[in-house]
Structure 1
Amino acid sequence: MQSLYLATTFAAAVACLLTSLLVFARRKSGERSRIILACIVMFSVLNYITRFYALCHGEQPELVISVPMLLLAIFMVISYIMYPIEVISPGYLNIWRVVKLYSPCIILAVVYNICNLIGIKFLPYHSLLEMFPYFTKFDVWFRFMLVFFVFTPVFLIFTVPYTRRYNNTDRAWMIKYTICFIINTIAYIIVLISDQIIIKTLYYYVSAGCSIYIAYMELFERLIKHPVSTYDDVTDINNEVPEYVTTNEKQNPLCERIVLHMKQTSDYRDPDISLNSMAISLFTNRTTLSKALREMGYTNFNIYINSLRIEDFINRVKDEKSENYQDVFYNVGFRSRSTALRNFKQYTGKTPSEYFVEQ
């Protein structure tokens, strides 16, 4: 039975490794869901390889009911929540939201390390059943609390903010993903209840199978589509559909994310904004971002940012009926009056005075 357990661990590692590489290879420009899923499956590979290495060298792998393994399980469960968030609401995740998502795991890890520093002993147990008679002890009920946290994140999938701008999934996909997630989590809970080697062997089949099926749904069932309705949410500062919303943009979801990001954040008003900082905000890279901007009709980053600033300048002057052009130029992000005037004339063909006299 030990040989079967060892072979199953190795097979699960290889299957998940190939799955992760395939999903990553099939990633699409401006679409992060497949990258996130590939990374999640790779975490499983690292876990399997670590246990396989220990078994091959006659060492005892970390007990599944130990606090470090339970914290790792919570980390994995939260990671599996990130993927549907990106599917259901592309572009919703940013650094701050990711930190908030992982905050329970971080807090529990900090508590565990503090307990170790002050001398609290976490005795080795092999299963939840073995721990149950000692439930009143701190190290036992702390682990029971961690087990509770392993299961609860599954219900977060249906609280993910949905955006109608994308048609990348439907409720049927959400239900199938949730069922798969629940099956995997229940299988893990069964492993925690019983330490029998046959149970652990079967768990690897279930866990690897769930990962492969999720990847299958991503690659062959959940086809990445694009908006079929009008661009209600992709409007410029004048609340009009931008002229650069063309067929090419429909084929690249990053273009829409750029427009929506600028509309929501007005980052163009930051005089220090750069291609690098914008790429980080959109979780992409310089090359991909530059390509998306060219698809939108802008030859480079500066032309795009300055066009947004000029549009904002025009609207502000009209709304505020201000003739103090210099202050407004600074407010929309220009560093100097001469640069602003040069860009305004390139954009409108007139000076501000000539432009607003004719309005």
Structure 2
Amino acid sequence: MHNIYLATIFAGALICLLASLLLFSRRKDGERSRTILSCIVLFSVFNYITRFINLINGEVPQLIVSVPMLVLAIFMVISYIMYPIEVISPGWLNFRRILKLYSPCLFILVTYKISLWANVEYKSYNTLLDMFPLAGDFDVLFRFILALLVFMPILFIFFIPYTRRYNNTDYVWIRKYVFTLSLNTLAYILVLTFEDPIVRTLYYYVSVGCSLYIVYMELFVRLIRKPVVAETVLQKEKEPSTPCTESFSKVKNTILIDRLNAYMENTFAWRDPDLSLNTLAQALCSNRTTLNQAIHDNGYESYTAYINHLRIKDFLNQIKSKQPVNFQEAFFDVGYRSRATALRNFRLITGMTPSEYFQKEQL
């Protein structure tokens, strides 16, 4: 049984390594989510390899339910929800938000260190079942709470702000992902509960299978619709063989505005809350100075004013077609992250609040 367990870990590490490399090699076909998922799967490889090396060196695979091990499990589950966050709301993750996501792990470790400083003794237990008779002790209760917290990050997926700008996923995909991640987490809890070589071996099959299924969904199931510049507009330049960095520098502002408007109509790029002048200029093979001047010549005070006009126009169309549930959801759908910012720009453009505007429309 030991040799089967050893071979299972090695095979799991090899399969996950290949899956991680495949994701990374095809990262340009998708979005940043593929790079994130590739790193997460690669981190699993390191865990497998570490355990495999320990087994090769003669270590007997005993399961010790410790606080660091449970914190590592919470860390891995949080890592696995970073991927659907990037899928559902592209661009929402940044360094500050990533730190916030991992802050519970830091808080738990600080609490653990304080308890050690307070001379709390953490006895060694192989399984959760061994801990039940002493559930009233702090060290046992603390670990039970951490075991329950392993499932909590999964629920966060249902509260991720949903961005429709790419139509790159749907609630069916979300439910499948949540089910797969929950199955993997449940298998891990079962390993913590029962000290059995068969259960430990089966866990690796389940874990690797769940990882491969997630990779499969990313590569072959999930729809990714990237913003694309309309080819018909690019053909207006009549210089297909000239590099864009050279040809577009001489294009008149009127032509650039035509291309900008066509790009916006085809991609709904204003719905991206992280859209910037630099990003837009790069997509149009222009530069920020030329594009900003073209926007100004087209009657807008600035790039920001242009984007806000598009967002407010989109907001009005969505409300009139009764697509969103309320104003706040519609404001988010068109690219605003802050309700206060959206209301301020709406009043600036229309001269009234949304309630006043639609009440006037009904008169």
Same topology, TM > 0.5: yes
What is the CA distance between 1:113 and its match in structure 2? 2.2
Q: Note if 1:296 corresponds to 2:284.
A: yes
- Partner residue, 1:87: 87
Q: 2:181 — aligned with what?
A: 181
Aligned counterparts of 1:81 and 1:214: Cα–Cα separation in 2: 12
Q: For 2:120, give the aligned amino acid.
A: I
- Which amino acid in 1 is paired with 2:158? F
1:242, distance to aligned residue in structure 2 (A) = 6.1
User: Per the alignment, in what secondary structure is the counterpart of residue 44 of structure 2?
Assistant: helix
Query: Structure 2: which amino acid aligns with 1:261?
Result: D
How far did residue 258 of structure 1 move?
10
Shift of 1:222: 0.6
Is 1:48 aligned to 2:23, yes or no?
no
Q: Residue in 1 aligned with 2:136?
A: 136
Q: CA deviation at 1:135?
A: 1.1
Trace 1:62-73 onto structure 2 (pairs within 5 A).
Answer: 63-73=63-73
The 8 Å contact of residues 12 and 208 in structure 1, kept in 2 or not, is answered as yes
> Does 2:214 align with 1:214?
yes
Which 10-residue stretch deviates more, 111-120 or 138-147? 111-120
Task: Report the aligned-residue RMSD.
Answer: 3.2
The residue type equivalent to 1:298 in the other structure is S
CA distance in 2, matches of 1:211, 1:227: 28
1:296 aligned partner, one-letter code: L
Partner deviation per Cα, 1:25-78 (whole Å, 9 max, x = no partner): 111278211011001111111111111111110125684521111111000101
Query: In the aligned structure 1, how far is the partner of 2:112 from the partner of 2:7?
Result: 33
Aligned to 1:194: 194
Q: Distance in 1 between matches of 2:106 and 2:210?
A: 26
Deviation at 1:218?
Answer: 0.3
- Note the residue ranges of structure 1 that are not aligned, 5 or more in a row: 229-240, 269-277, 279-288, 317-359
Task: Give 3-state SS (helix, strand or coil) of 1:28's partner.
Answer: helix
2:274 corresponds to which of 261, 266, 280: 261
Tell me the percent identity: 51
TM-score by length of 1: 0.69
CA distances 1:117-159 after superposition (whole Å, capped 9, x unpaired)? 3432221110000111111111111110110110122111111
Q: Which residue of 2 aligns with 1:37?
A: 37
Letter in structure 1 aligned against 2:285: G
**In 1, Cα distance between equivalents of 2:270 and 2:10:** 40
> Cα distance 1:121–1:83, how it changes in 2: closer, same or farther (>3 A)?
same
Question: Aligned residues, how many?
Answer: 276
Q: Which amino acid aligns with 2:163?
A: T
Aligned CA distance change for structure 1 residues 242 and 181 (closer, same or farther; 3 Å)? farther
- Gaps (5+ residues) in structure 2? 229-255, 306-363
- The question of whether the paired residues in 2 share the 8 Å contact of 1:165 and 1:227 is answered with no
Question: What pairs up with 1:53-132 in 2 under 5 angstroms?
Answer: 53-60=53-60, 63-132=63-132
Q: Deviations 1:88-131 (Å, cap 9, x if unpaired)?
A: 11111122221221111111012112223343222111000011
Question: Pairwise mapping of residues 215-254 of structure 1 onto structure 2 (< 5 A)?
Answer: 215-226=215-226, 243-245=258-260
In 2: Cα distance, 1:315 partner to 1:208 partner: 47
Identify the residue that residue 2 of structure 2 maps to in structure 1.
2
Tell me if structure 2 keeps the 8 A contact 1:13–1:45.
yes
Q: Is the 8 A contact 1:63 1:69 kept in 2?
A: no
Q: Secondary structure at the match of 2:274?
A: helix
